[in-house]
A and B are shown apart, each in its own frame.
Chain A
């Protein structure tokens, strides 16, 4: 099973709302990633977790707050977002960070619209 699941599939929120995106994998992977993808653009890395610890934060604004409660679950908490944050948010996982040939497996994404 090489599945990464993401919920919800679609999310519409106002600029004052607080919401969360959820990502789950049961492949025993120890690295998990959040990407943001705007229309007709490649995915942009936001955060990397390794063994449930934040490894990389690509200078993402604090209105995005990641959380990794356990090795299978990754959340992205959203607060006070701007309309320009509307995008497809992709989660990915890989076995780890140490092996060059590790593949990243992607979830289907959450389509976020900020009004």
Chain B
């Protein structure tokens, strides 16, 4: 069975600092991984997805994630945080039979001025 674990329910960074949100997956087969962002009282917006075409995936709003099979990780990064990045971030894995998404518990990103 597939699952994802997000380390750190809250992350706080200063504006302009590096953003690093951690996601580790558990899967016996090649995983299909996604990062979503959710702003308060809104739905989820896709940031990026891993499709096995490239290990470094670039997404919207300057975010990127690197798939590391040896570490079973798919961490999300952004070189320079902006106040507008403050939101909840969810890592998700799509099940092998493609029917379900399994979401991590989420990481709330706070950006300090």
Cα distance A111–B32 when bound, in Å? 30
Q: Is A100 an interface residue (CB 8 A)?
A: yes
Contact A43 B103 (CB under 8 A): yes
- A102 and B44 contact, Cβ closer than 8 Å, known pairs A42-B90, A42-B104, A42-B105: no
Contact B105 A103 (CB under 8 A): no
Cα distance A47–B104 when bound, in Å? 19
Q: Is B67 an interface residue (CB 8 A)?
A: no
- A98 and B43 contact, Cβ closer than 8 Å, known pairs A42-B90, A42-B103: no
CB neighbours (8 Å) of B46 from chain A are 103-105
CB neighbours (8 Å) of A4 from chain B are 43
Number of A interface residues at 8 Å Cβ cutoff, please give it. Answer: 27
Contact B98 A45 (CB under 8 A): no
CB neighbours (8 Å) of A90 from chain B are 43-44
Contact A108 B42 (CB under 8 A): yes
CB neighbours (8 Å) of A107 from chain B are 43
CB distance from A19 to the nearest CB of B (A): 19
Q: Is A109 an interface residue (CB 8 A)?
A: yes
Residues of A within 8 A of B (CB): 4, 6, 40-43, 45, 48, 55-56, 88, 90, 92, 97-109, 111
Residues of B within 8 A of A (CB): 32, 34, 36, 41-46, 49, 51, 90, 94, 98-101, 103-106
User: Can you name 9 A-B pairs with beta carbons within 8 Å?
Assistant: A41-B106, A42-B104, A43-B103, A48-B99, A102-B98, A105-B46, A106-B43, A106-B44, A107-B43
